[in-house]
Each structure stands twice: as structure tokens, then as C-alpha cells.
Chains A and B, each alone.
Chain A
Amino acid sequence: MSTALIGAPLNAAQLYLDGVCRSFDGFKAINGLSLAVAKGELRAVIGPNGAGKTTMMDIITGKTRPDEGKVIWNGDTDLTKIDEAGVARLGIGRKFQKPTVFETHSVEDNIRLALKAPRGVFPVLFDRRSAEENRRVTEYLDRIRLTHLRAETAANLSHGQKQWLEIGMLLAQEPQLLLVDEPAAGMTDAETMETAELLKSIAGERTVIVVEHDMDFVRALNCRVTVLHQGSVLAEGSLDHVSARDDVIEVYLGR
């Protein structure tokens, strides 16, 4: 990997996408996307449907391989060569658009499976539950306010509670970077604002990238915003700055 590629201002970037392209059957879902996110930053990514937001997350997390370009992690690791589990073990956690939890497991077991710990078959097979582990589970349950539902089967949670549980699982992984896809979908206004506060409290210690449609939510995040359009960056800056731009209004906000 050439160090010249990652110039001086970019070596501070924890995540750096460089000229990433990916097409599906001729449709360019991601087209020369370059993006740098600093360690500890909170970043919102917005854009109309089909702008490539979810594909971007798929590429960062190793689910989809780009046709071209690189995704550099901490200045020295190319994530495009690593599978999902490998990317997760590097400290990148992901929350899906549709809340995805282990429905037949209890709330507690969902967190327990997510806790940062060895992931190989044999260490996991012989893993014994410890008091320390219980303490950590409780800590995360408290944080997402599901302690009272500890023994409940995850399938019985409401949509909003599942969103929170998934965020809790993400936190339990202790990732350096959290990729959060539409966390506010299906939440009440109050829950949405609480989620924004939670994400803001996580940023700083960890890097957070949020993909979101809900403008009130993005405003509440009060962070730098990247606008994607047709697979590349259209604008970047504060929400007020990008939302004042004519091209952004045309492709997205004006609708």
C-alpha cells in the first residue's frame, strides 16, 4: 500500500474510503466514493434512496467486495480483503436497517453473545459464564434500559426495543467504529431523541457513522453531514451548510 496515497491530513483518518466503485448488473451503486472519517467522530450520511448508503456499509464491513478502490482502516489495513467476521473482530460493529436480533434467545443472551470475547469455536464451546460477564451484561442492559426484560425472549420485544437491543449488542462488542443504519426507523419521537443522545454520548470514545433519513434526527445529532448521491459524495459539512446548497435541495431535501 502506498503511503503517498494516504496524505498527511488523511493519516489521522480512522476510516478512509478511496475511490471505491461497485456496480450491480451495470448499475453503479457506488461510483468513485471517497470519504474520510476521523477517530471519535460522529458522522451522519444522508442521501436519497439508491444513493449507495447501504452498499457503502456493505463494502466497509466486508459483505460486498468493491470492483475498484480501497477501504483503509487505521491507516494500514485494507478492509476489502477481509470477510465480515474478520472486519467485526477488527473492531467495526454494524447495526442493520431492519432490527436484527436473535429472536429465540433471551435479551440477556443476545447481549452475552455480542460481548467482546474470543470468537473461535472451541473457546466459545468451553466458555463458562462468569460473574464478571454477568456484570458486563447488566451494564449494557442498564444502558439500553432493558434490564427489566433481561429474561424475556427477544421475539417478544417491541420494534423500538429491538432497535435498542441491537444497539446494546453493538456496544457490547466494544467496537472502535459503529456503523448505524437508520436507527430511528419505527421509533417514537421520544425514542428517536433518546437514540440521538445515546449516539452522541458514544461518539468521542468511539467513531460513529449514522445513515439516516429522518432530518430531525440528523439535526439532533448536530454533527458533520455527508450527502451521497448516485454513489458518490455530493456535499459535506454541517447540516445547515449542506441543506443550503441548491444541488442538495434538488436531489434530496426538496422532495
Chain B
Amino acid sequence: MTRLIDLRLGLFLAALFAVTVLAPLATTLPSTSALNLPSYLIPLMGKYLCYALLAVALDLCWGYAGILSLGHGAFFALGGYAMGMHLMREIGARGVYANPELPDFMVFLGWTELPWFWYGFDMFWFAAVMALLVPGLLAFVFGWFAFRSRVSGVYLSIITQALTFALLLAFFRNDMGFGGNNGLTDFRDVLGFSLSAPSTRIALFVLTAVALAGCMLLARAITISKAGKVLVAVRDAESRTRFLGYRVESYSVFVFTVSAMMAGLAGALYVPQVGIINPGEFAPANSIEIVVWVALGGRGTLVGAAIGALVVVALKSWLTATFPDLWLFALGGLFILVTLALPNGLLGLLDRLKPRQAKPAAEVPA
């Protein structure tokens, strides 16, 4: 039996744990200390962890089941909107227009009552459930039609890209009732805790780390199960899997839905830490960037996907601050580099550097 926590995952989780404990502690040190961490960096680190979670979600369906989704940003954004809607409702009468019921943008648009799809979002638990349910349901319905019709490979990638693009256009419209171009912002607090308070920020950061660790363990449990082996079988020899009696579409829908729900969770954790969600999150380029993270880190490794996201996002933060014009070239260059030189990503490179384990030579009968 393959172990749930192998060396790689163990090391990653240990490092994640260390950072999760040490980073909040470092913010409490006096600002004169060399080890002091400015508290504004905590939400930034939380944001990175959300991206890592998103990468793990994509790796689960792309790396293992071969479903290259170029629309995972949509599931992330939907999770984000669900949480954003709750945070909007929680502003209450403290908005510019002081309307206890309607968010500011609705008052501004001259609306007099809350649209039906905003009902329930005043309750945190409802928003939290929706952040998982809406992306999951969309993935289930979309996957059900696509996989049943045996849409796969590049065609599937293209329609997932179309899906996120369609949502981008829809969410840009003011009539949709999600704040149009500006999206949802000006959040005040969550569950009564101020979002600008350092303690809330730390709590959100720790929660994100826990979610990342939990989802990585869940994804790992799925991939080492017999069903995980079936997913890899689908990826490598789909028709063989069918002729063994496995309904390939059921497995694909299952993994696609689980993956979308993880992406939704990442989005829901992202929004309170970043303070805004707008239609830009649906941009097709965002979804492609996720693919680059996973490819760079090492597809089909989970840990690699998370590392890939952290590396690329850190690089992006640094480059866009120092050489803003270079970022897109760097991203394109990275993708080319990975495709040509690192087909198995950074983790694949590590494996190659490791001394090969001595394996008894396979005896080949005549």
C-alpha cells in the first residue's frame, strides 16, 4: 500500500507548518528586530497559499486524470464571489449609502430590492456552502455533458476556456447583480472580526494553510486509492479502461467536480485576504497561468503543483514590482523552458539529480 504521506509530502507539510507557526510569531517581534515580519505581508502570504491550493486542484484533474482545464480560474472566481457576497452583506448599513439591506452598488444602480440570488448570503455558513457548491455544481453539469459526449483533449481545453470567458463577459454586466466591472469590495469584517485587524489576518492565513494541507491530503488519498489508479489508467489508455468495464465519464466527472470545489475553496479564502473580487478573475489568461504553475512544479505530483504556484507567484510579485514590462515575457519564457527542458517540472529535476536507487535487474525470459 502506498503511504498517504510520503517523504515529499511530509517535507512540504512540515515546511508549511513551520511557516504557519513562525510567520505570525515574527510579526509580533519589535520592528527593530531583523526577524520582524511586517504584518501586511501576512495576507500576501495567505494569497500565495490560495494559489498553491488552486494549483493542487488543477493538478488533481490534469496531472492524474489528464483533464487539461483551461478554465479553473472560473471555479476559483465563483468561490470568491460567493464569499464576497457574504462580506458585502456583512457591511450592512456602514456603506456609503447606509442601506442596511442593499450593497452600495445596487443602491447606486437604483435597485430597490435584493435580487433573489443574494438571499441567504447574509449567513456565513450559507456563503461557505455556496463557495463549494456553486463551482462543484457547474463542474458537475459541465463535465457531465462534456465527458458523456466524449469531449476530451484539446477540445475540452478550448471549451473550458470558453466557459471562463463567457463568465467573464457575464460578470462584467451590471445587470448580472454582482457589481459589474468593479466587482465586490470595501469589505469591513468577517464573522464580526475586522478584516484589517492583524489577528483576523493571521487567522485567515492559518486557515488557508490548514485548507491547503487538508486538500493536499485529500487529493493524495484520492490519487493513491484504486480510483486514483483508474484515473491514471484513463489518462494513459482510455479505451482499455472502458473495455475493463469502468465508466470513464463517471470518473472524469468525479475528479473534475472535486477539483472545482477545491478551486472554489481557494477563491473563498482568497477574497477576504485580498479585499476584492472582480470579473478580472475570470480572465482566460489567469486560468492559463495556473497551468504554468502546475507544469513548472511538476504535473501529477501535487507537491510540485503547490511549489510551482509559490515560485511563479513570488517571481511575478518581484518582477511586476521591479521590471513591470518583463513579466509576460518571463511567464512565456518559463512555459517554453518547462516544455522543452523540464517535462516533469522542478520535482522531476530533483528526481533526476537524486542518485538512482539500485533496482534488481528485471529478468527477461526468452
Interface residues, chain A, CB within 8 Å of chain B?
61, 63, 83-85, 88-89, 93-94, 96, 100-105, 109, 112-114, 119-121, 124-127, 129, 145, 148-149, 152, 156, 158, 161, 169, 173, 188, 190
Contacts and interface: CB of A to CB of B under 8 A. Distances in A.
6 contacts: A85-B248, A102-B233, A119-B245, A121-B251, A127-B225, A129-B1
For A104, A112, A145, the residue with the greatest tally of chain B CB atoms inside 10 Å of its CB is A104
Contact of A109 (B229, B242, B247): B229
For B226, B233, B236, the residue with the greatest tally of chain A CB atoms inside 10 Å of its CB is B226
Interface string B322-366: 000000000000000000000000000000000000000011111
A173 B245 contact: yes
Interface in B276-291: none
B243 A61 contact: yes
Contacts of A94: 243
Contact of B240 (A96, A149, A161): A96
B257 to A, nearest CB: 11
B226 A112 contact: yes
A122 to B, nearest CB: 8
Contacts of A112: 226, 229
Nearest to A169: B244
Contacts of B230: 113, 124
Given A85-B248, A96-B239, 8 more contacts: A85-B245, A88-B245, A100-B240, A105-B229, A112-B226, A113-B230, A114-B244, A121-B254
Contacts of B25: none
B243 A88 contact: yes
B1 to A, nearest CB: 6
A100 B227 contact: no
Contacts of B222: 125
Contacts of B242: 83-85, 88
Nearest to A152: B362
B176 interface: no
B250 interface: yes
Contact of A148 (B243, B248, B363): B363
Given A104-B232, A127-B226, A145 B365 contact: yes
B79 to A, nearest CB: 23
Contacts of B145: none
Given A88-B245, A120-B250, A63 B229 contact: no
Interface in B215-247: 222, 225-227, 229-230, 232-233, 236-237, 239-247
Contacts of B246: 85, 119, 124
Nearest to B237: A100
Contact of A125 (B225, B232, B245): B225
Contacts of A156: 362
Closest 4 CB pairs of A and B: A88-B245, A125-B227, A84-B242, A127-B226
Interface of B: 1, 222, 225-227, 229-230, 232-233, 236-237, 239-248, 250-251, 254, 362-366
B244 A113 contact: yes
Contacts of A190: 366
Contact of A102 (B225, B227, B236): B236
A137 B364 CA distance: 20
B245 A89 contact: yes
Contacts of B251: 121
Contacts of B243: 61, 84, 88, 93-94
A149 B362 contact: yes
Contact of A188 (B226, B247, B366): B366
Nearest to B245: A88
B171 to A, nearest CB: 32
A173 B244 contact: yes
Contacts of B247: 83, 85, 119-120
Contact of A121 (B227, B239, B240): B227
B151 to A, nearest CB: 16
Contacts of B241: 113
Contacts of A109: 229
A124 B226 contact: yes
Contacts of A145: 365
B4 to A, nearest CB: 13
A156 B361 CA distance: 11
B304 to A, nearest CB: 16
Contacts of A84: 239, 242-243
B268 to A, nearest CB: 25
A188 B365 CA distance: 12
A81 to B, nearest CB: 16
A158 B229 contact: no
Nearest to B240: A100
For A94, A109, A125, the residue with the greatest tally of chain B CB atoms inside 10 Å of its CB is A125
Contacts of B225: 124-127
A63 B365 contact: no
